[in-house]
Amino acid sequence: MGGGFRDYQTPVAPGMVVLDAIHQIQAEQANDLAVRWNCKAGKCGSCSAEIDGKPRLMCMTRLSDLSLERPVTVEPMRTFPLIKDLVTDVSWNYRAKLSIAPFTPRPPDAPDGTWRMQQSDVDRVQEFPKVQSSASLCQDVCHVLRDHHKQAEFIGPRHFVYAAALEMHPLDVGDRIAEAQARGRHRLLQHHEVLHQGLPRRDHHYRQRRSFPQGASGRRVLTIRSDVW
């Protein structure tokens, strides 16, 4: 039981990212090394980890951007329970998302079952996927979850962005603000001003009653956490 760090040395080629090096170590030195990944394009967030003490995506962190002065340290995310090696239990993320009222469209605008939307409304909603990627990493850097362990009270910044995207969708008629306020989440949200930075504010004349509360070549040595059983 327990866990620890283990040193691995592996050759690094130009253009390699941390995930490439981890896969190389897994294939050549540690076949039982547990690591989670999926898209390898910086979209899904499956390969989130702590690289040199900072939460980052392994698939988007180039080895050429890391310091050569010391070994590169790769650890599992600290906010979530550890399963094995670099894999953590992020199932809470999915349970938390289920607590948000789903997309509920208004009746179609035309007899053919279609809707009419302004392009400006479509553009507004399209801003949110830019910050919804890498969900686990977003939750990992949240100090309310990471340091204060408020999972029972706070669903985390990623899910507030998801709720905001639904609230600002021009077809949606659901109301998620009342539920958030009832559980006190709007107070915790104030700690996450980053959520509204760079996002378009809702027009004052547009569904004002449901305004959302304001408020991540050569040879190198990789050190990774291994074998936690």
Q: Rounded to an integer, what is the distance from CA 115 to the centroid of its chain?
A: 31
Q: Residue 62's pLDDT is what?
A: 95
Q: In this structure, are strands 54-57 and 72-75 parallel, antiparallel, or unpaired?
A: unpaired
Cβ-contact 164, 195 below 8 angstroms: yes
| Confidence at residue 105, expressed as pLDDT on a 0 to 100 scale | 93
pTM greater than 0.75: no
Which structural domains are found in the chain, ordered by start? 4-89+217-226 (3.10.20.30), 91-210 (1.10.1060)
First to last CA, the chain: 5
Phi first, then psi: give them for residue 124, nearest 5 degrees: -60, -45
Helix%, strand%, coil% for the chain, nearest 5: 35, 15, 50
- pLDDT at res. 180: 66
pLDDT computed for residue 224 by the predictor: 43
Q: Which two tokens stand for residue 7?
A: 């040193």
Cα-trace Rg, the chain:
21
Q: Which residue positions in the chain have pLDDT lower than 50?
A: 1, 184, 186-229
CA 101 vs CA 175, 176, 180: distances in Å: 8, 6, 10
Residue 82 pLDDT: 93
